[in-house]
Amino acid sequence: MDTGTGLTLLGGAIGGAKVIEKILGPTSEYIGEGIKEWTVKKVENTKRIFKIAEEKLGQRIEEPGRVPPKILKSILEDGAWCEEELQADYFGGILASSRSGISRDDRGAYIISIVNKLSSYQLRTHYLFYHALKHHFNGQNLNIGVSSDRNKMKIYVSIESWIKSISLQPNEIGNLHQIFQHSIWGLSKEQLIDTFKYGGPEDMKYKDANQYGVEFNPSLLGIELFLWAYGEGRKQNNDFLNLILNFE
């Protein structure tokens, strides 16, 4: 099987086949001529994911490493259909996080499976929630691995902030509350948030709640997904609040 054609097609927008080979390591041998049969859109979607992975790896791309074939399979099969910008960003971060010197470390396959189960609304809600947590608790001395400390990380997000963050369009506003509840319960079902409550200010424990919204505590899996999506899947969950880590 000629890998040259596939690597050349995917490398076209990010500096050539050598960049793909640097990201994947020996796993690049799995990319074959089958990509020639892809539509232009599938090739472009996959290129975008590799470009994001390259950016998130930064100088780490020069270090020895490889991406497990199982991860590449998920990127080629699922990422090729990914048109939503944030989902592509998550895929790119997971691809970057999956590159290591440990050939059997395919944890990224499980992380990708979670992203695949989330709707675009749920994924954007996850992104908003964990950015809000990082901003509010950044630098605090909290042990995220201990439930009592995670319980101290309760935060409130108003529905106004949520609408703005997920960019609801006018034709979606009519289903506002259904989409809101779908997003919250979906994250809860996948264990991406812990305890939560939504409703008016009178229902909230959070002292600054001034309108309808949601308050919640983070989960270990929710933090783990966030780290992987930013190419930092090798970090410990406790690094989430480290001032050195910047997720802007």
Question: Which pLDDT tens digit goes with each residue over 70-85?
Answer: 998 998 888 888 888 9
pLDDT, position 57: 94
User: Is residue 246 assigned to a domain?
Assistant: no
Residues 132 and 180 in one domain: yes
pLDDT, position 1: 39
Residues 55 and 112 in one domain: yes
Is it the case that residue 142 has pLDDT exceeding 90?
Answer: yes
Category of 183 on φ-ψ map: left (φ > 0), alpha (ψ -120 to 50) or beta: alpha
Please, are residues 30 and 68 in contact by the beta-carbon 8 Å criterion?
no
DSSP code per residue over 148-161: HHHGGG-EEEEHHH
User: Is residue 31 assigned to a domain?
Assistant: yes
pLDDT, position 33: 60
Q: Around Cβ 60, how many Cβ atoms within 10 Å?
A: 13
Domain boundary, last residue among 68, 95, 117: 117
**CA 161/CA 103 separation, integer angstroms:** 42
Query: What share of the chain in percent tops pLDDT 70?
Result: 91
Residue 97 has φ and ψ, to the nearest 5°, of -65, -25
* Between residues 205 and 137, the one the model is more confident about: 137
Model confidence over 94-140: pLDDT tens digits? 999 999 988 888 999 999 999 999 999 999 999 999 999 999 999 99
Is it the case that residue 148 has pLDDT exceeding 50?
Answer: yes
pLDDT (average), residues 25-48: 77
- Angle at CA 79, nearest 5°, toward 73 and 83? 170
Residues 197 and 174 in one domain: yes
pLDDT, position 15: 62
Q: Around Cβ 211, how many Cβ atoms within 10 Å?
A: 12
pLDDT, position 2: 45
User: Is residue 152 assigned to a domain?
Assistant: yes
Domain that holds residue 30: 3-117
**CA 237/CA 227 separation, integer angstroms:** 8
User: Is residue 248 assigned to a domain?
Assistant: no
Residues 63 and 146 in one domain: no
User: Is residue 112 assigned to a domain?
Assistant: yes
pLDDT, position 44: 86
Residues 50 and 127 in one domain: no
Closest CA to 2 of 28, 26, 33, 30: 33
Residues 208 and 137 in one domain: yes
Q: How many domains does the chain have?
A: 2
Residues 113 and 124 in one domain: no
pLDDT (average), residues 212-216: 92
User: Is residue 42 assigned to a domain?
Assistant: yes
Amino acid in the structure at residue 122: Q
User: Is residue 51 assigned to a domain?
Assistant: yes
* Between residues 27 and 59, the one the model is more confident about: 59
Closest CA to 224 of 142, 110, 146, 116: 110
Domain boundary, last residue among 117, 146, 174: 117
pLDDT (average), residues 193-222: 86
pTM for this one? Answer: 0.88
Residues 42 and 98 in one domain: yes
Please, are residues 180 and 157 in contact by the beta-carbon 8 Å criterion?
no
User: Which CA distances in Å does 162 have to 43, 96, 112, 121, 167?
Assistant: 32, 28, 24, 10, 8
**CA 204/CA 200 separation, integer angstroms:** 7
User: Is residue 222 assigned to a domain?
Assistant: yes
Residues 125 and 113 in one domain: no
Residues contacting 12, CB < 8 A, separation 6+: 47
Average pLDDT, the chain: 88
Residues 176 and 204 in one domain: yes
Domain boundary, last residue among 95, 117, 139: 117
Residues 191 and 222 in one domain: yes
User: Which CA distances in Å does 140 have to 99, 152, 154, 205, 218?
Assistant: 29, 11, 14, 21, 15
Residues 17 and 108 in one domain: yes
